[in-house]
Amino acid sequence: MLSLHGTLAVLGFCVAPLGAAHAKEFRVEEVPSVTATKPSQLKSGTIVFSDHGGEQSDEADAGLVPFEQWARTKPLQKQFLSPFPDYKEPRIEVSVHGLTRPYTEKLHVYVVEARFEIAKAPNTLDLARYASLDMLEKLDPAIKHRRITAAEARPNVDPASAHSRHPSRRWCEAPQSLCIESRYPLEGKLPMGIRLANKLEEGEKKISEFMEFQSELRVLQPQEVDSAALAQLTGLDTPVAGVMEQTLFHVNQVMQFGKLLAVLQEHPADPAKTVTTVFMALGIETDVLERKREFGSVPVLRNLIPVQVLMGKSSFNTGNSISAGLPDYTRNRIRAIAQLLDQ
């Protein structure tokens, strides 16, 4: 239930150390709508940022939206930020009292939008150099990565993961793609809390103290780029100079998918600048968010309620990185992406 934080370590695909030489120190400015923010309103060294929690709600699940509602109200986001455009909530088989029956895994999504300008012309930014294992290895050393082949991608070979198979190709076989399997051991007090929770839930599926996830990182080929639709998604009607995406297609618990999409476009008033719009979406299993009663009844676990941990509202959250919760972590990761591109 807690390992979703680890997922974001991979979704911050091009993050270099924040102290990288010559990197500008970006700050994050909350706005009601990133796509409604015009390039003329962008400030040097500032990232405009918004998520569904921007209304400052005190509810622990603020920022999480049912998948069906998201697909209905934000069809363009659903098209680009799902693992593939026709993605649906997984239809899986479950066993109840020895009987197997079909079950739809309901999801909630957490969506982040960010925008910043880089003082470089679009044609000087080579996205392909970021789609490398060397770049990934600059992430937090607690996260271990290894390159995998299409034959190791779980949806390609595992019938239990068939719902995550790409309908038109196999994962890890797209041009200029890098597939990675990553492992992240949970940090701080989280492993201790998980051990206690597992003891109290005998017979239930155990919560893992680590995260294992597989993802595909790639730069889109020019013929794959739907410039008109992407301009509508970003709200910026200038040429698309490059697109990079990272798709999380397998995870050992908590969520079903993740997607990061970075769209680089020419600045409408200055061809020597690039406007970058970044989107991040995470599909979280709804039943994980609903697990409150069994934790709330145990004093030491009252702050381990999954949705509180995920949204950074628990005493188990710590620091300003992965264990801080989704809101802080996504802001930090996008800040690091901006600083890397600005080098």
Read off the pTM: 0.87
**In the chain, where the domains are located:** 4-342
266: pLDDT strictly greater than 50: yes
Instruction: Write down the pLDDT at residue 294.
Output: 65
96: pLDDT strictly greater than 90: no
Give the Cα separation of 290 and 301 in Å (integer): 15
Instruction: Write down the pLDDT at residue 6.
Output: 38
Average model confidence (pLDDT) for the chain? Answer: 83
Over the stretch 149-202, which tens digit does the pLDDT of each residue have? 999 999 999 998 999 999 999 999 998 889 999 887 877 888 788 888 788 766
Query: 């790639």: which residue's tokens?
Result: 218
Over the stretch 279-313, which tens digit does the pLDDT of each residue have? 999 999 998 888 765 676 677 777 788 888 888 88
What token pair was written down for 232?
């509508």
Q: What percent of the chain has pLDDT over 70?
A: 81
Q: What percent of the chain has pLDDT over 90?
A: 50
116: pLDDT strictly greater than 80: yes
Over the stretch 61-70, which tens digit does the pLDDT of each residue have? 668 999 999 9
Mean pLDDT of 33-49: 95
Instruction: Write down the pLDDT at residue 45.
Output: 94
pLDDT band at 49 (very low <50, low <70, confident <90, very high): very high
Region of residue 319 (phi > 0: left; psi between -120 and 50: alpha; otherwise: beta): left
27 CB-near residues (< 8 Å, 6+ apart): 45, 46, 47, 335
Instruction: Write down the pLDDT at residue 56.
Output: 46
Over the stretch 213-250, which tens digit does the pLDDT of each residue have? 999 999 999 999 999 999 999 999 999 999 999 999 99
Mean pLDDT of 269-280: 95
pLDDT band at 320 (very low <50, low <70, confident <90, very high): low
Over the stretch 144-153, which tens digit does the pLDDT of each residue have? 889 999 999 9
End-to-end CA distance of the chain: 36
Burial of residue 124, with CB atoms counted within 10 A of its CB: 0-12 exposed, 13-18 middle, 19 or more buried: exposed
Instruction: Write down the pLDDT at residue 18.
Output: 42
Give the Cα separation of 136 and 141 in Å (integer): 10
2: pLDDT strictly greater than 50: no
What token pair was written down for 329?
């972590």
SS3 for the chain is CCCHHHHHHHHCCCCCCCCCCCCCCCEEEECCCCCCCCHHHCCCCEEEEEECCCCCCCCCCCCEEEHHHHHHHCHHHHHHHCCCCCCCCCEEEEEECCEEEEEECCEEEEEEEEEEEECCCHHHCCHHHHCCHHHHCCCCCCCEEEECCHHHCHHHHCHHHHHHCCCCCCCCCCCCEEEEEEEEECCCCHHHHHHHHHHHCCCCCCCCCEEEEEEEEEECCHHHCCHHHHHHHHCCCCCEEEEEEEEEEEECCCEEEEEEEEEEEEECCEEEEEEEEEEEEEEEEHHHHCCCHHHHCCHHHHHHCHHHHHCCCCCCCCCCCHHHCHHHHHHHHHHHHHHHHHC
